[in-house]
Every structure is written in C-alpha cells, then in structure tokens.
Structure 1
C-alpha cells in the first residue's frame, strides 16, 4: 500500500508540474486545496464515528474504577470491610495488580485481532465486574470484583486505536477529549454519588445503588462498541473507497500506516522492550499515576477534612475536575500545534507539585487547601494525553507502539499501588506522607520530561547531520522493519 501511494503521488506531481508549465494555471495549488478539503471532511467523519463512543468508554471506565472512593463514604468500608483502612487500601490496590499485568497483553490484543472487538471485550468484563460490586457481602468478593475491573480496563487500548486513524499532530487534542471523559467521570461521579447519598431505601444500601447505576450502562456501551465502533480505516464500512484510500495515504505520509493489518510483529515488541526512553516515559507516567490514584481514591476524603459533610464533600469534588478538563484540552491543543510534548508535560507536573506543596504546608487555610486540589487534579489528568501522544509519536511501528503504550500502564502504574496506602485515616488531615510523596514524584517527573525533551532534540540534530539534512515531508519510511531507528524518522521533543 505504501509503495503504491508513493508511486501514485510521484506520478501526480510530475503531471501537475507539466500541466502548470504548459498552461500557466495553478493546477498544483488547486489540487492541494482540494486535498485539504477532502481531509477536513474525512476528519469530521472520523471524529463523528470515533470520538463519542471512545469518550463514553473512558467515562465508563473511570466511573467504574473510581466509584469505590465515593462508596467508601456511603458505607462500603463500614459494612463490608469491617471499617478497616488497610482492607480498603487493598481493595484499591487489587485493581492495579491486574491492570498492570494485562496492559501489555491487552494492548497487543488490539493488534492481534480487530481493535474494536478487543476494546468491546474489555468494556464487557469491567462492566459486569463493576455492577457485581453491588452484590458483594465480604472482603473477598470485593477483591475479586476489583481484580476483574482491572482486567477489563487493561484491555482498553484506545490510545493505540487512535494512532491507527489519526496523524501525529492530530492525536493529542483528541486524546485530551478522550481523557476528558475521565475528568468528567470525576465530576459526574461526585454528582451521582451526591444524589445517591440522598436515596434512603430500607432494602438496599445507597452504596449498592451507586454501583448498579454506574455499572449497568457500561454493559450496554460494550454492545454499542461491538456494533458501531469502526475497526481500521482500510476496511471500515463507514468510509467510502476514496475515503479509505485517503485515510491510508495520510497515515503513510506520517509513517503510521506501514503495518496497517492485524497481527503482531515481534521485532517491534523487542524494540519497545529494549528502548531506554520507553522506560523513562513510563516512570514519568508512574509519577502521574501516583497523583491520579491519590485523587481518584481519596479526593472526597481529603475535601471532607476541610469541614464538609460526606455528601457535600462529594459535591465539592466536581469543580476541580471541570477546571482540569478545560486546562487539559488547552494544553493538548497547543502541544499539537507546536508539535512538542516535553515542555507541556513539565508544566503540568509543575502545577501539580505546587498543589501538593500547598496541601503539605498549609493546615488551617481551607480556601488555599481547596484551591490546591484544583492543581492536583490537573496533575492527575492533564499529563495523560500528552504522555500517551508522546509515546505514540515516537514509536515507528504499530507493534512497537502497542507495546510501549502497554508499558505506560504496566511499569507506569506501579506507583498507583503505593497511592492506595498513602492516606490512612489516622494520618489525616495532614497526611504528610501522602502529600510529600506526591510532591517529590511530581518534581521528579518535571526533571524527566525536560531531560527527555532535550535528548530527543539532540538526537534529531544528530540524525540531521548523519543523513545530510532533515527528511522530506511525506516520505514513506521503513518503520515496519526498523521502527524508530529508520532513516528519516525524527522524534517529537
């Protein structure tokens, strides 16, 4: 496909040059404008097909992952976990055990079979497990449900799926919309929990109602994903033959379409597992996930210590998530525009570090402490699309990309387990250990982001010198065989 596209465009270029020299008419400019119009129409159609369903997937995933924090305040810990902080922390941790274990295999599954099918399988698994939480009667049953939620979400390879449809400078803003659904889940989760807390039924506890309300719709969503989510542009029934060809041409020109088929290339897997910068980004992602785990598991508890009731604390979790959504969308759009990731990642982690610092040193000014929660929620979410798109941009082949993205949720989720134990009730409201750990990890992430960005710039300069200049735009590279080491490949700093 790539060789055919390259030959066709060479022939068209020669034809347009000849026509322009003979007639003096701007044939080439006209065709360029026509191509841009076709691309805009294609992107609108792709967005209409892909973004709503994938955003709902993330909303569903984060509601079902994070509702245990709200359920804690409604009686889950007191009635089923015996009031034990340790058991609650283990419940939080169990999700990450299977999430970490299945992230690389789950992402590669989207390469081995149709990605839409693998994503639907994951949604089905976590939805059943999440709804089943309503029927738990002891510690063991809660643990089992949380383990299966982790399995389902580990198979949710939407970031890889986006790279099968969008170019490098289009993906971050769309990932921001996708991750934005997760931010909205924090807001919606707080609103839903606030409403459920006012439901008083003699036969069923409010926290059980919460799990049913948030779990059952996810099962319906899994069915919709199977039926309606497009799989690959080369075979999508939603695109016309001309649109399928244009979609593949766009990916070829951005060195993203050479491996556009199901099946795993194990040399790409090996390259991802032996690439040092993959681990650096995974560590930075892990720093972010410590904040995310702290926010999703304990934000209602932290806000409650500022003088609010259980119900009001859940309501006051909504504004920080709303602000984080706006900030994340703006930074991701700007990052796409300038085609740079590292400085924006460092900015997000710097703001998050400031939030944790305020929470660490300020004890009596509750307005300042509440303001700090806005900064920490920004840190927990705004870095996600930036780091995911950074990995996606800098991996040459789909198999390398699938493995590297999976590493974000395996290596990159390790500190989420630690977050489960950072905020025991006995240490509140100061939580020096929890606030201090997050502060240190966010500062580490700032250093890693700036250092890696500088490395990519230096490596691009070295390749320019070795290859005699920058690569020609649109040139098809040998990324299937050589991945990010292919001649002409340049990193996004």
Structure 2
C-alpha cells in the first residue's frame, strides 16, 4: 500500500496531552511524525517478539498454561464466592429473613439490596485504581476479606440496620474486586486471550446461581435446628469466602515483572507477549492525565450505559429469580431447586459465545445477539401470564427464565473485554473498567424495586422495563460498532494503513489516541 500525504493546517494550534480527543486526532499528528511512523511500521516491530522461533512459541504456550493453572482457579473461586455472598439475599428471603428481620416489608428488603449497590457503585473506580496503585493481589484479597466478613455477619443480624451495615461491607469489599480482577487479567493475557478467560471467571456467577439454589434447597431440608435456615445459609456461604481470601492473599501472583511465580525465562516471555500489544507497562502508580482522559471520553459512558442495561436484567435475576419461578406454581424449596438449570445452561452458553468472540476478535456482534436473547426472555415473561396458564404456557415462561439468565451473565465478559481492549494505558483501563460498575450498576438499584410481592406472579412492570432496556442496550452497542468501524477506517486512511503486528505504539502518553491504535469493533 502506498503512503498517503498528510496535509496539516499550519494555522492549527499545537495540541497538548490534556486537550486530546477524537476530534483533535488530526491535530495531534504532525506531518513529519506520521511519515516516520509509516516508514517504520514494518521494521519497528518488537524485535524480541519477531524473533520467536517455534520452540519459543512452545515456551509461550507452556507459560500460558502455567498462568491458567493458578490464576484462573483463584479468579473463578473468588467470583463464585462473591456472587454467592452477593446473591444469597434472594434465597434467604424465601427462608424467613424478610419475615424475621425486616418485618415482612418489601421496602426494607429492597433497601437491603440497594445498600450493597450504592457502595459497590460509588467505590468501584477507586477500588479498581487501587489495583493499579498497589499490588493487585493484595488489594483484591483485602476486598475479599471485607466482603466475606460482612456476608458472614449477616447471619447475626437481628434488625434492618444490622443487615444494612453487613450489606454495606459486602459492597465495599466487592468494589475492590469486581472490575479489579478483570483489570488484573490484562497484566497477564493478550487481547485475543481475554474474553474467554474473563468468561471463565464470570461463569462462576452462573455456578453461584446453580450452587446457591442447591445449597438453599439443602438448607431448606434442615428442619430440626434451633438456628433459622437463613442464618445457616449465610454461615455456610460466608465462612469459606473468608478462608479463600486468606489463600488468595498468599497465592495470587503479583505483576509479571516482580512475580515470584515466574522464573527469569518465563518473565521475559510474559513481558515480551505484553509488549507485542503495547500492554507491558511496568510502572506502579496512577497517571492523573490518563484518569482525566478516561473520565472525559464519551465512549467510557456509552459502553457503561450498555453495561447498565445488561445489569438491570442481571440484578433482577439475582434478586428475584426464585420468586419468579415460585410463581410457576412451585413451593419455596422447589423454586430454589428449579433455579439451577437456567444457571447451568447460561454457563455453557457464555463459554461458547466468549470463545467465538476471542477467536474472531469481534465484541459488538455477540453482545447484540445476547441482548436479543434477553429481549426474547423478558418478552416471554411479560406476554405469557402464569395465572390459569396451561402446561405449555408455564414451560414458555420457564424457557424465558433460561433466556434472561443467559443474557444477564453472558454479556458481562463480552463488555468487560470490549472496554479493556479499547483503552490504551493501564490507568485509563482501570478507570474505564471501574466506570462500568459506577455507571453500569446504577440500574441494578432500580432492579431492587421492580418486583414487589403485590405485583406477582405476573410482575408486568419488572418484565416490561427489562424488555425496554435490553432493547436500548442493543441499539447502543450497534451505534458503538458503527463508530469504531468508521473511526478505524478514518485512521487507516490518515496513517496509510494499519501498523504491522508488534509495532510500538505510544499508548502510555497518548492512550487510545496514539498513532497506530485501533479499536476492537
């Protein structure tokens, strides 16, 4: 491809790092700098990565397997315990929590759900930035210790205020973990490896739903204990989380350049892999200008709103799926048991979709497909009444439960990977991922009030609002897809084509506006 001449208006003022945006991308690149970039695109690839022989690539695969053996099981177990401790309020509700502690009040139950989300939302960006400022293994494990203590202490709640305080600690701890663990994975894995691995630990959310239902069903069979069933449930799920947090503190590897889990040869390969995709920052600390870039970038908020649309469905599922299924004519114990199959199916569906997304490096298309699955599921719950329903109608509603659970969980790793891959520097990435929760969890607060008992078993308001927001998420994702494709084409024309693999791109200073940077559509 021949090089294209770049004409820069000499009247344009020089751009500073603080003033950069997509609109100023043309101004950022001087004619001389662009020509130099174009001339060096093919020969400035990372020499270490270009020299990898077949034997070196075998060593790289061995390294990835070694990372998977330790990092992924710990991430999966953390997410499993987090979702068990976050979502068990819905199970405990059916076992007497609402009656004995909250006076049977729907409003107080909704407030207990909301307290978690308030702290989770407000502290998500600071919690994720902690993983950049300090060792992520330390901050993540401390977050796990906090939420496990809060979750366990729920068993001792005797009034609404005590339960609210416990839920606050669960929210604070999970704010230090939720997006920080996804950010942590970007220290170790390349972009084309990320979605499947994020999907693997997010799949623990589906497992938590399945296990939570089974554990609750088992606890419901304990009838001769002096301790109420819901207190037993909190103890069974909270204490193992605390033990796991201690294990993670000592076993989760630090950053590649200082981790004792790697030998020197493995460290070189790990850093070379990351440098090949301009992911290998070794500095500890927070780049304030990268924080500003993330907060002033409209794309951060657009993708976060799409994430929020997904979270409305997920919040509805986490808090009310047992209640919705009970409306199909089951007892409390049977409803707990019948929550298991939808979670199990969503696990398989998630792993399939994220694997395909990684293989073809497409994010928006699978995200849109999953939103459509959510539209189908919530439409079935809205349109098919459980009152006087035939067996076929009840099956249709149960199928809708499968769809809404799959839609709620599958888009989590897809959107997280999309946001992570379209940010340049680590600090920008940490803030952008944190904003997924700060903005993206806002509608989860609304979910806490969408399914009051008086509106059951139809729950028309909850289902209809979820249909609307699943559709909104679809159209936001479609718009972002079109923008990223258009912007990539514009940069291709501007820069004379795409850079060769391994080309050094100055994302540390210029973030996603750097010459050579391309978005993942």
> TM-score, structure 2 length as denominator?
0.89
1:275 is matched with 297
Pairing partner for 2:464 from 411, 433, 436: 436
1:225 counterpart = 2:253: no
Q: Distance in 2 between matches of 1:376 and 1:389?
A: 21
Q: Distance in 1 between matches of 2:248 and 2:170?
A: 18
Q: Distance in 1 between matches of 2:74 and 2:49?
A: 37
Q: Distance in 2 between matches of 1:210 and 1:260?
A: 43
Q: Distance in 1 between matches of 2:282 and 2:61?
A: 22
* Native 8 Å contact 1:164 1:260 kept in 2: no
2:125 is matched with 104
Deviations 1:411-448 (A, max 9, x none): 11000000000000000111111000000000000111
Pairing partner for 1:291 from 313, 316, 321: 313
Q: Distance in 2 between matches of 1:60 and 1:34?
A: 39
Pairing partner for 1:481 from 484, 509, 513: 509
* 1:85-234 correspondence to structure 2 within 5 Å: 85-156=106-177, 157-234=180-257
Q: Distance in 2 between matches of 1:287 and 1:315?
A: 28
Q: Distance in 2 between matches of 1:376 and 1:9?
A: 44
* 1:289-328 correspondence to structure 2 within 5 Å: 289-328=311-350
Paired positions, count = 471
**Cα 1:303/1:56, change in 2 over 3 Å:** same
By how many angstroms is 1:340 displaced?
1.0
Q: Distance in 2 between matches of 1:457 and 1:8?
A: 24
* 1:451-462 correspondence to structure 2 within 5 Å: 451-462=479-490
Q: Distance in 1 between matches of 2:56 and 2:491?
A: 31
Displacement over 6 Å in runs of 4+:
none
Pairing partner for 1:266 from 282, 285, 288: 288
Q: Distance in 2 between matches of 1:67 and 1:121?
A: 21
Q: Distance in 2 between matches of 1:315 and 1:85?
A: 23
By how many angstroms is 1:202 displaced?
4.1
SS where residue 172 of structure 1 aligns? Answer: helix
Pairing partner for 1:396 from 421, 424, 428: 424
* Native 8 Å contact 2:354 2:413 kept in 1: yes
* 1:400-411 correspondence to structure 2 within 5 Å: 400-411=428-439
Pairing partner for 1:355 from 377, 399, 417: 377
By how many angstroms is 1:36 displaced?
1.6
> TM-score, structure 1 length as denominator?
0.94
**Structure 2 spans left out of the alignment, 5+ residues:** 1-42
By how many angstroms is 1:7 displaced?
8.4
* Native 8 Å contact 2:46 2:275 kept in 1: no
